[in-house]
Amino acid sequence: MRILALETSAKAVSAAVTEDGRLLALGFQDTGLTHSRTLMPIVEFILKNADLTLQSCDAIAVAAGPGSFTGIRIGVAAAKGLAVAAEKPVAAVSTLEAMARNVSHADGLVVCAMDARRSQVYNALFAAENGRLTRLTPDRAISLTDLAEELRDDPRPKTVVGDGGAMCYEALQAAGIACRLAPPHLVMQSAASVALAAEEIARNGGLITAQALQPVYLRPPQAERLRDRQQKAKSHS
């Protein structure tokens, strides 16, 4: 199966094409430019240079969340548009599960971390053994303090990955939790891992329609939280 995958969950943006576990093309950019400006040119570039077309892909995959609210919206909207235009099914991939694949070769505990602000991370834990991952927790927002306490008595080697990896690594080290940060070329989210996760979703019959694709937010956007607080304040005034 040939899959075109999109990754826009954080500051970096990437797109990739895989076929039956083999990476055919990958475009990655981390320059601070907006995803709305960079994503589609990357998609067009990798397809053209690999002599592929949207129609030649069997499915569209996207990191559907958690992550940056704006980034996730852009990625999901782009995946919907591509899937509708090409009449292709979609794979909605957990951002955290995809990034865990970056270091699935490192036996032990994979600690996925994205900066969720307010001293929290979007996190999931996976056990890695012989290149295979076993999910240990759901995707969640958790404080760095609570995460450190959860990991304190776990004897397994721990590898931290994700755009919040450096922050999480420093917090765990400060709490006396032995761990290692994934190397620079593996620490960030990548569409290649999104595509590989999507291949497994496809094998398990989990592809969906473009219409069914929805972003995954672990908590409401900042604007929505502010509106709720203002409404509560008015109701008590």
Separation between Cα atoms, residue 186 and residue 57, nearest integer Å:
26
**Mean pLDDT in consecutive groups of 10 residues from the start of the chain, 237 residues:** 97 97 96 93 97 97 96 97 98 98 97 94 98 97 97 97 97 97 97 97 98 91 53 61
Which CATH number goes with the domain that contains 6?
3.30.420.40
Within a domain: 204: yes
CB-side neighbour CA atoms (13 Å) of 94: 21
Q: 94 vs 33, 59, 110, 122, CA distance in Å? A: 24, 16, 15, 11
Task: Decide: pTM greater than 0.85.
Answer: yes
Domain count of the chain? 2
pLDDT score, position 225: 45
- Look at residues 104, 21, 16, 102 and name the one whose alpha carbon lies nearest to residue 62: 16
Nearest-5° angle of CA 113, CA 131, CA 193? 50
Same domain, 90 and 23: yes
Same domain, 161 and 211: no
Q: Which residues are CB-contacts of 92 (< 8 A; sequence separation ≥ 6)?
A: 61, 62, 64, 201, 208, 213, 214, 216
Separation between Cα atoms, residue 74 and residue 189, nearest integer Å:
16
Range of the domain at 53: 2-94+189-226
